[in-house]
Chain A
Amino acid sequence: MERLSSRQAFDEYVAREQARWESLWNGDQWVVSVGISECSIAKGAEETYRHLSLILAQEGIPHVLRRVGCAGWCFAEPYVEVRVPGAPPIVYAQITTERVPELVHALRQGNLKPEWALGVRGEQGFDGIPPLHAHPFLAKQRRLLFADAGVIDPESISDYIARGGYQALRKALFEMTPEEVVAEVKAANLRGRGGAGFPAGIKWESGRRTQAWPKYVVVNSHEGEFNVYKDRRLLESNPHLVLEGLIIGCYALETPYGYNYIGGEHALALKRFQHAVEEAYALGLLGDNILGTGFSCHVRVRTGGGAYICGEGSALMYAIMGYRGQPRTKPPRSVEEGLWKRPTVLNNTETFANVPGIIRNGGKWYASIGPENSPGTKLVTMQGPLVRLGVAEIEMGLSLRELIFDVYGGMREGYRFKGIQMGGVSSGPLREDELDVGVDFDSLDKAGVMLGSGGFVVFDDRICAVDFARFLVAFSRYESCAKCNPCRLGNPALLEILDRIRYGEGRPEDIDLIKETSKHIIELSLCGLGQVAPMPALGMLRAFPEEFEAHIREKRCPAGVCPIGEPAELAAASAD
């Protein structure tokens, strides 16, 4: 790969790669793509890939075998997409290694195996197989960030460029000033996708305003919140989309220093993003004097060591600097004094992934998607005993009920919906009668819950609200950095109250005690972790008060989960 050093060289490269891409899909060979990502590897995708490689060679079938990323349909993994000459690409679901021979032989004989097909990749169906976008999982999605997930090889910068990648960077570098870039992001009203929902454009503007150098732009890919894996999948399926957003961010802040802080446990996401950075350097889209513009950009990847609190902005910066990740009070805000005490703009992976689209199509285009105050699309991950599981990308504002029962298929056979936990550990649940609310920042805030980073957990009636509340508060209690008293002492106290209730030693005044303790923790904690840690307890109390009453007054756990009636080794339980 030669280093591109001018706009013209870049344009010529784009043309060459587009031609290559065209000929790939229009030639006489089979094009076989296997989705390889953390989720599919766990289900045997690597074995499927190896078996395909063997069989295609053995049968002498002219082919190109590709590795692509996760397309979000985890329920269909391991998945294989096959394009045989004369037909459009078709995605096949649950192709474990055992099924490979049958699939290959069937396709060879002109049998498109409709019973195994998830759908046709294209506008229309083919030969009786419906198009992918008609599948109930995909019908209500709007895939902007995930448009190329599962289509391109995430370890190929040339695939990304063939599909229009780095056109936004080109536009920013050659046709826009840094101020204009910030203006577009502001016009888009892109709100932070890490959970806080703070307008990114305003943050970038504040970063520009501070007169101190160097400045830093940091991608928050820590993703320590459980049941949220959208950032991982983005980095595994289309790392260049995030990288392009980061480079544009560096251009907007007029700094050459970009960072991506990735959770240490996200092994594949790390590997693929590192690879993307190396490819970008090799091609000349990172480094000094990019495409001859005089703008330089260098990206460093740093990894987390397993501390949820390091997803918090100020803690993250301490973590990068090699300290224990403990948040600090603000002011000064990080845009004034952040990493190494310099102005730092920190945004979530998904936020940066939205930037190239905004630059290409304009802020106004983006702002027109979804509700006015919460525009754009959102990657969501929903789990629990549902028919379909995976990552979905929806337009902000889609009804939660539709998301659960249409996109994710509703409850599995034998499970009865009880509630849906919202916002990870930062919020409370919604009951079945409260699901007619739009999935966006403001509608959910009004409903008393939180969008957060888009992780939802559906639970059925075998789950006890008190026990679940205890589990969620325990998460925050253990992830507390221990710096401030309200959080360090308040959360274990709250946990003790919940444990007493679980063991049948609840008292009538405990309900008020929970509310009062929670109020103190929320109002007095230094950072976001403490400020939301008690929310699951308050939320469960609000949504399922009868269950708490049953535990306290009748010494009974309706779901049959809590150790009520067992000898109360409370001190041990709460210390565990």
Chain B
Amino acid sequence: MESQTSKSQAIDLAPLRAVLEEKFRPRDSQEAQELIVMACQEAQALYGWVPPEAAQCIADHLGTTINRVYGLLTFYADFRTTPPGEHFLWLCGGAACYVMGAPKLIELLREQYQLTDHGVSPDGKLTLHIFNGCLGVCDLAPVIQVDHHHYWGHLTPEKLRDALETLRADGVAEEQTHGATE
């Protein structure tokens, strides 16, 4: 299962409260219910996961219960209810990436980095989400999005290992992604 990181800091709820006050002002309870998932997404963006304190804060602000919030956090795959590692690897689990070799990447991550879906590596540096969907950049298949920003495309197990080692040494590996198709 997932390994917890050893650092457990107190969560600073101030930024979350600020966003909720500013952008989440439902006019009625109907609208409030429509906003729960989006409030959780704000928390996820701020903290990298949705800590119980944040879930309670959201529940209080929108006039619902923490149970309702957890019902959503445990159903929707985007949410983490445990802290992430330092770097976020979003591996595309679509069919194009499968056909172009993603299974070998998943195998490498599992065997050499002890990383499974939603897991954190033992050294706390890497988090992996295998996205059961499509990142929409199929011509870079197989592809991983790193830290919500960089794309490692046309990966092979060797390229992935090189990129990961650079990342763990606290660099950022900008992989080649430019047209290999024509």
Contacts and interface: CB of A to CB of B under 8 A. Distances in A.
Interface of A: 38-39, 42-44, 74-78, 93-94, 96, 224-229, 232-233, 263-266, 300, 302-308, 319-325, 340, 381, 383-390, 412, 421, 424-425, 457-460, 463, 468, 471-472, 475, 478-479, 576
B79 A306 contact: yes
Interface string B138-156: 1111010100000101000
Contact of A305 (B34, B78, B99): B78
Contacts of A478: 132
B9 to A, nearest CB: 25
B6 interface: no
A104 B181 CA distance: 25
B96 A44 contact: no
Given A306-B76, A322-B36, A322-B72, A266 B177 contact: no
Contacts of B68: 322
B181 to A, nearest CB: 5
Q: Report which residue of B35, B99, B103, B179 has the largest number of chain A beta carbons within 10 angstroms of its beta carbon.
A: B99
Interface in B31-46: 33-38, 40-41
Interface string B109-139: 0000000100000000000000111111111
Contacts of B77: 305-307
B167 interface: no
B133 A385 contact: no
Contact of A77 (B34, B138, B145, B179): B179
Interface string B1-44: 00000000000000000000000000000100111111011000
Contacts of A386: 181
Nearest to A97: B178
B71 interface: yes
B66 interface: no
B94 A75 contact: no
A228 B134 contact: yes
B95 A472 contact: yes
A212 B25 CA distance: 27
Contacts of A576: 116
Contacts of A387: 181-182
A307 B137 contact: no
B163 interface: no
B93 interface: yes
Contact of B99 (A266, A424, A463): A463
B100 interface: yes
A307 B73 CA distance: 11
Contacts of A228: 134
Contacts of A229: 134, 136, 138
21 contacts: A39-B136, A42-B145, A78-B178, A94-B182, A227-B96, A227-B134, A233-B136, A264-B37, A264-B78, A265-B131, A265-B133, A300-B34, A302-B37, A305-B72, A305-B79, A320-B34, A384-B100, A412-B181, A457-B96, A458-B99, A475-B93
Contacts of B151: 42-43
Interface string B60-103: 00001000100110011111000000000000011110111001
Contacts of A226: 93-96, 133-134
Contacts of B64: 322
B173 to A, nearest CB: 14
B177 A44 contact: yes
A43 B178 contact: yes
Contacts of B34: 300, 302, 320-322
B41 A325 contact: no
A44 B149 CA distance: 11
Contacts of A319: 37
Given A227-B96, A305-B76, A305-B78, A42 B41 contact: no
Nearest to B39: A322
Nearest to B76: A305
A306 B137 contact: no
A302 B36 CA distance: 10
A43 B140 contact: yes
Contact of B139 (A303, A383, A459): A383
B16 to A, nearest CB: 17
Given A227-B95, A265-B78, A322-B68, A340 B131 contact: no
Contacts of B41: 264, 303, 305
B178 A96 contact: yes
A388 B138 CA distance: 11
A42 B98 CA distance: 19
A385 B179 contact: no
A300 to B, nearest CB: 7
List of 8 A-B pairs having minimum Cβ-Cβ separation, nearest first: A305-B76, A226-B94, A306-B78, A229-B136, A383-B96, A226-B134, A322-B33, A389-B139
A475 B131 CA distance: 10
A307 B138 contact: no
A277 to B, nearest CB: 14
Nearest to A425: B95
Contact of A94 (B95, B99, B178): B178
A390 B98 CA distance: 17
A48 to B, nearest CB: 10
Contact of B75 (A38, A302, A325): A325
A559 to B, nearest CB: 12
Contacts of A325: 75-76
B95 A42 contact: no
Given A225-B134, A387-B181, A576-B116, 7 more contacts: A74-B137, A93-B182, A94-B178, A226-B94, A264-B78, A300-B34, A458-B99
A384 B99 contact: yes
Given A306-B79, A381-B138, A463-B99, A42 B153 contact: yes
Given A39-B136, A42-B153, A302-B38, A468 B98 contact: yes
Contacts of B139: 39, 74-75, 383, 389-390
Contacts of B96: 226-227, 383-384, 457
Nearest to B153: A42
A43 B177 contact: yes
B152 to A, nearest CB: 10
Contacts of B79: 305-306
Contacts of B37: 264, 302-305, 319, 322
B100 A385 contact: yes
A402 B48 CA distance: 46
A340 B30 contact: yes
Contacts of B35: 322
Contacts of B30: 340
A424 B133 contact: no
A324 to B, nearest CB: 4
B138 A43 contact: no
A449 B138 CA distance: 22
A308 B133 contact: yes
Nearest to A232: B136
A158 B179 CA distance: 33
